[in-house]
Amino acid sequence: MLDSCVVNPAVAVQCDVAVIGGGPAGSTIAALLAERGRSVVLLEKARHPRFHIGESLLPLNMPLFERLGVADEMQRIGMAKYGAEFVSPWHGEPVTFDFANAIDKSYPSAYQVRRSDFDEILFRNAARKGATALEECRATSVQFNRDGALVCARDVNGEELRWQAKFVVDASGRDTLLANQSKTKRRNKKHNSAAIYGHFTGASRLPGKAEGNISLFWFEHGWFWFIPLSDGTTSVGAVCWPYYMSSRKTDPEQFFLNTIALSPALAARLTNAHLASPVTATGNYSYEVERAAGENYLLLGDAFTFIDPVFSTGVLLAMQSAFTGADAVEACLDQPESAARALKAFDAGMRRGPKIFSWFIYRLTTPTFRDMFMHPRNEKLQEAVLSVLAGDLFRGTPVHGRLLVFKVIYYLKSFFTLRTSLKAWMSRKRAIRELGAEGTAN
């Protein structure tokens, strides 16, 4: 049965670009293209402010805020974050990495933000720049044609809306609208994790300037995040192997509290804290799409790939992809003869950041990796790793040579502790293989 929107396309409104999704990626590219004089329609399925996880930003988000003209607004809502603390039950004292010690010292801090406030600022900014920004308007299908694509949507009243766009940007996040429509979304076979999270009041934070730092706590089944927000709330979540999440026999709240108890160091921070939100569980965190661009479309941020939130890369990769995506869209609209080349370059660029981050993510829970993070010894290598943690991968900062040395040392250490390394590797493979995409929490 054909979609009635497609059967009756005559009333479609013309536009240059239709952007699906009003999160950081969609709002950013909509603002950039509207500012350049393009007619842009931005479709958001919910109404801002709306809840979203992913509250920890990276230092290299800061110049992007400046370029968008929202730096002052972000400062008002943000909790200053100067570094990241790593806590391991298999080691001694926690270790803190300060962003000020990265190779480039220009951006020594970032923010922790409530995503409801953060996303709304970016969405309203797109509207101010001239985009037609529609809320409670869910895109339902995209049908490509010789003039671009017919984008169909349904508003909160159930009314069908249509746009004939020259170009489509999918920034639908984990909804992955175009990837699902084209059946090009694949589970990441190298990584499969699930998460459970909530917000607390009264959590014990680090003292002084470090109060806003993110903390990572390793534990037997994965790792926890601890993200202080400016209103006194703290976001806490566990990212675990699916086998552990599928072992749940209680309600999500009790399961979450029981999981926190498995990390004495984190539990101590929450001794006098109170759960201030419902507990949410989500599975199948890791996926990728076959290609990030094609004729008359491109995918941004989580609509293309998501691996793991451990290094807080989500918002940066989303916004960075929007900046490079805006240039690609402009090239396609202005110079159709070079569109294929521009989209191929965009696709290659979209893979660069996740490829670098994923090497670290895939090894996060190995004994060798934990040892290297908890006992940093080489200042130059530490600077390179800090540059990665800061998100400084897109400006030509010379990190790659040092990262290569870091990887060589990692492999050598793994070789000299071969029995432990193989045991960890086999355990990881078994965790992914046994449950695959089915190991999720409901």
pLDDT tens, position by position, 11-21: 799 999 999 99
Q: Which residue has the higher pLDDT, 283 or 206?
A: 206
Q: Which residue has the higher pLDDT, 195 or 431?
A: 195
Beta bridge partners of 87: 217
Bridging pattern class, strands 297-299 and 160-170: parallel
Give the model's confidence band at 442: pLDDT under 50 very low, under 70 low, under 90 confident, else very high.
very low
Whether the pLDDT of residue 231 is over 70: the answer is yes
Per the CB < 8 A criterion, the answer to whether 55 and 112 are in contact is yes
Q: Which amino acid would we find at residue 439? A: G
- The pLDDT value recorded for residue 247 is 87
DSSP one-letter code for 394: S
User: Among 3.50.50.60, 3.40.50.2000, 3.40.1710.10, 3.30.70.1560, what is the CATH number of 4-50+114-186+289-355?
Assistant: 3.50.50.60
CA distances from 414 to 174, 218, 281, 357 (A): 35, 19, 33, 19
Asked whether residue 361 carries a pLDDT value surpassing 90, the answer given is no
- Structural contact between residues 151 and 162, judged by C-beta atoms closer than 8 angstroms: yes
Among candidates 294, 304, 56, which has minimal Cα distance to 172? 304
Determine the pLDDT at residue 246.
84
Q: Provide the residue type at 19 as one letter.
A: V
Q: What is the pLDDT of residues 292-351, one digit of tens each?
A: 999 999 999 999 998 888 888 999 999 999 999 999 999 999 999 999 999 999 999 999
Q: Residue 269 and residue 278: Cα distance in Å, rounded?
A: 19
- Give the SS3 label for residue 48: coil
Say which CATH class 79-112+193-283+365-442 falls into: alpha beta
Compute how many other C-beta atoms are within 10 angstroms of the C-beta atom of residue 216: 21
pLDDT of residue 10: 56
Q: Where are the domains of the chain?
A: 4-50+114-186+289-355, 79-112+193-283+365-442
Bridge partners for 226 per DSSP: 215, 236
pTM: 0.92
Nearest in space to 351 (alpha carbons), one of 286, 276, 288, 423? 288
Would you state the structure tokens that stand for residue 9, as one six-digit string?
Answer: 């396309």
What is residue 273's three-state secondary structure?
A: coil
Residue 47 and residue 76 in contact, taking contact as beta carbons nearer than 8 Å: no
In this prediction, residue 440 carries a pLDDT of 38
Res 209 pLDDT > 70: yes
Q: How would you classify the pairing of strands 79-81 and 40-43? A: unpaired
293: left (phi over 0), alpha (psi -120 to 50) or beta: beta
278 has pLDDT over 50: yes
Decide if pLDDT at 429 tops 90.
no
DSSP 56: B
State the distance between the two ends of the chain, measured CA to CA, in whole angstroms: 32
Mean of the pLDDT values across residues 67-71? 98
* Alpha carbons 238 and 226: distance in angstroms, whole number: 9
pLDDT digits (tens, 9 = 90+) for 97-154: 999 999 999 999 999 999 999 999 999 999 999 999 999 999 999 999 999 999 999 9
pLDDT digits (tens, 9 = 90+) for 29-63: 999 999 999 999 999 999 999 999 999 999 999 99
pLDDT, residue 2, reads 45
Contact (CB, 8 A) for 341 and 349: no
What is the pLDDT confidence band of residue 432, given thresholds at 50, 70 and 90? low
The predicted pLDDT at position 192 comes to 74
- The pLDDT score that the predictor gives to residue 243 is 82
- 298 and 324 Cβ atoms separated by less than 8 Å: no
Q: Which residues pair with 305 in a beta bridge?
A: 288
Calpha distance 283→252 (Å, rounded): 13
CA distance 298 to 144: 13
Q: What does the alpha-carbon distance between residue 118 and residue 219 come to, in Å, rounded to a whole number?
A: 30
Task: Give phi and psi for 94, each to the nearest 5.
Answer: -60, 155
